[in-house]
Amino acid sequence: MRFLLIFFFIQVQKIYFSEGKRFIWKPVSSVIDRDLWKDENPPCADSIISFEKDKLTIALIEKGLAAKEILLPDNGILYFDQYTLFGETPDWQCEFSREGQDVAFFEPPVTPNIFSSVYWRIEGEEADKRSRIHVEQIPSQVDEAVFPVETASRITINVPLIVGKLNYSNQKTIKFYPFYWFEKL
């Protein structure tokens, strides 16, 4: 019996006094991603870019974008990172297409779920040293969940997720049960 109490006490200490990890949400709606363009064909500098009709579009335009014309979405949000330059062809785009084609950007077919480990990256050198079960691949009550400012993504949250700290758009929550405050970073 004494052994069980000691074992239980050690496990509780590991849970409450363990140092949490920092989980970074990976952006999924970037114009750089070839998979999100019709026929996996990203635009060239002389292309006409359009967005999916009658659908909510959320996209991150990073590193720049060159196009002959951009037809904005009817419903949606376009985010620009701090290095976005219009009119200059970035390294991910070609200069000229063979036939000056029109290209279309599509939202990912599935809205990312916050409980899917595919969309999280663990920060730090310890991250890739061992394989982890699913529960260790998403943030928990001792970890920090970070949604970078330059992220453009819709997220499905269908049940509560408790994290130690939430860093969203450079504002960090401070947990003081039962309230949460945001502080500007």
Range of the domain at 128: 20-27+112-184
152-129-156 Cα angle (round to 5): 25
Residue 96 and residue 72 share a domain: yes
For residue 8, what pLDDT band results from cuts at 50, 70 and 90?
Answer: low
How many angstroms separate the Cα of 119 from the Cα of each of 37, 74, 76, 145? Answer: 20, 27, 21, 12
Q: Tell me the one-letter amino acid at 69.
A: E
For the segment 148-170, what is each residue's pLDDT rounded down to a tens digit? 776 666 777 777 777 877 777 66
**176 in a domain, yes or no?**
yes
Q: Note whether residue 152 is domain-resident.
A: yes
Of the pLDDT bands very low, low, confident and very high (cuts 50, 70, 90), residue 176 is: very low
Range from 6-10, 127-131, 134-138, 156-160 that averages highest in pLDDT: 156-160
Provide the residue type at 138 as one letter.
I
Q: Which of 105, 136, 159 is the last residue of a domain?
A: 105
Predicted TM-score of the model (pTM)? 0.58
| Whether 76 and 135 share a structural domain | no
For 18-28, how does the pLDDT look when each residue is reduced to its tens digit (9 = 90+)? 578 888 887 66
Q: Which of 74, 105, 136 is the last residue of a domain?
A: 105
Whether 6 is in a domain gets the answer: no
Q: Identify whether residues 130 and 155 lie together within a single domain.
A: yes
Mean pLDDT of 128-138: 63
Most confident of 38-47, 99-108, 113-122, 162-171: 38-47
Q: Which of 163, 112, 159, 118 is nearest to 137 (CA)?
A: 118
Structure tokens at 90: 């970035």
Q: Which of these three, 105, 122, 140, is where a domain ends? A: 105
Residue 139 and residue 116 in one domain: yes
Q: Rounded CA gap, 7 and 89, in Å? A: 61
Tally of domains in the chain = 2
Using CA atoms, how far apart are residues 17 and 19, in angstroms rounded to an integer? Answer: 6
For residues 47 and 82, membership in a common domain is answered with: yes
The answer for residues whose C-beta is within 8 angstroms of residue 142's C-beta and 6 or more apart is 15, 18, 19, 20, 164
Please, how many CA atoms are within 13 Å of residue 136, restricted to the half-sphere of its CB?
A: 8
Secondary structure element (H or E) that encloses residue 2, with its range: helix 2-17
Is the confidence at residue 31, as pLDDT, over 70? yes
- Of residues 113 and 41, more confidence is placed in 41
